[in-house]
Amino acid sequence: MPSAKINGINIYYESHGDGFPLVLAYGIGGNTTEWGPQMPVLSQRYRFIVWDPRGHAKSDSPAEADQYNQEIFAEDLKGLLDHLGIQRAYVGGLSMGAGIATRFTILHPRRVAALLICDSFSASGLETPPENRRMREEIIQLAETEGMESVAEYSIKNNPNISQTAALGKEQAESIREMYLALNPVGYAHSTRMILNATFDASLLEGIKAPTLVLAGQEDGALPACRFIHEKISGSQLVVIPGAGHLSNLDQPEAFNRAVLEFLAKVDQEVKV
């Protein structure tokens, strides 16, 4: 099981294929297996690296709340690239993972050959809407008092980011449940608090010069935030995937993969991959 000691904790990662590195992280509550529909496709052309941020799945979950913020998560990504000897990469992710990659791009622009922001509110720098904040606070309380089984039940029914995908069928709902049960409740609670407080000056997005893909499901509640990001990052490309919600890579994997490959094919020419 590959892991690297980064910033005092173990970070789990997987590397698939060869070529120019493409490094992605999943959203809050997810893990590397959620990239299953992308692995055989993206690894054909790129060194496709997926990783579990701190507080998630097979990575360590520090007990202290102050060990979770966007800057720390971004430095974990830097540490992972350093560990792998990668000076420059395509970086990105979905939801929280995209928020981490965006913060990393702001802090370490020379390390980023392209940025992929998928279905992400936390990458926008905007404040969490009150109704979403209330839902997240309930989830935190459940994680700390009842555990991840209760979080899974609640989220499948009440979290629009999850419920739409879970409603696609029994197999999808069970996959979502297993995703939550793989989590450490302490790490998940602290990571969720981080998401609630993950604001930054949105004008920093205007300084991003790397080629950027902003992608969102047409039915994703984060779509307005993604449109905002697209407007802030000059020259960015916006792709909206019909029939997809917040977990667009799972809801419409073929359309997701096609959009990513078409975007990166253009960037490949610029960076001479």
Indicate whether 239 pLDDT > 80: yes
Interval 21-45 mean pLDDT: 97
| Residue 197 pLDDT level (bands cut at 50, 70, 90) | confident
Interval 42-60 mean pLDDT: 97
Indicate whether 55 pLDDT > 80: yes
Identify the helix (H) or strand (E) that includes residue 162. Answer: helix 160-166
Indicate whether 272 pLDDT > 70: no
In this structure, the chain runs to a length of: 273
The dihedral region occupied by 109, where left means phi > 0, alpha psi between -120 and 50, and beta the remainder, is alpha
| Residue 199 pLDDT level (bands cut at 50, 70, 90) | confident
Tell me what pLDDT residue 21 has: 98
How far is residue 96's CA from residue 254's CA, in Å, rounded to a whole number? Answer: 22
Cα 4 → chain centroid: 19
Q: What is the DSSP string of 209-263?
A: -S-EEEEEETT-TTHHHHHHHHHHSTT-EEEEETT--S-HHHHSHHHHHHHHHHH
> How far does the chain reach from its first CA to its final CA, in angstroms?
29
Cα dihedral across residues 71, 127, 57, 137: positive or negative:
positive
Mean pLDDT (the chain) is 95
pTM: 0.95
Interval 112-137 mean pLDDT: 94
Long-range contact list for 260-263, CB < 8 A, 24+ apart? Answer: 260/38, 260/42, 260/116, 260/213, 260/215, 261/41, 261/42, 261/45, 263/114, 263/116, 263/211, 263/213, 263/237, 263/239
| Residue 163 pLDDT level (bands cut at 50, 70, 90) | confident
Tell me what pLDDT residue 103 has: 97
| Residue 164 pLDDT level (bands cut at 50, 70, 90) | confident
Indicate whether 1 pLDDT > 70: no
Q: Is 100 exposed, middle or buried (0-12, 13-18, 19+ CB in 10 A)?
A: buried
Interval 96-100 mean pLDDT: 97
Interval 9-38 mean pLDDT: 96
Indicate whether 273 pLDDT > 70: no
Indicate whether 235 pLDDT > 90: yes
How far is residue 8's CA from residue 96's CA, in Å, rounded to a whole number? Answer: 22
Please name every residue paired with 239 in a beta bridge, in sequence order, or none if there are none.
Answer: 215
Interval 131-148 mean pLDDT: 95
Share of the chain above pLDDT 90, in %: 86
Q: Of the candidates 149, 144, 119, which has an alpha carbon nearest to the alpha carbon of residue 25? A: 119
Find the range with the poorest average confidence among 98-107, 117-126, 164-173: 164-173
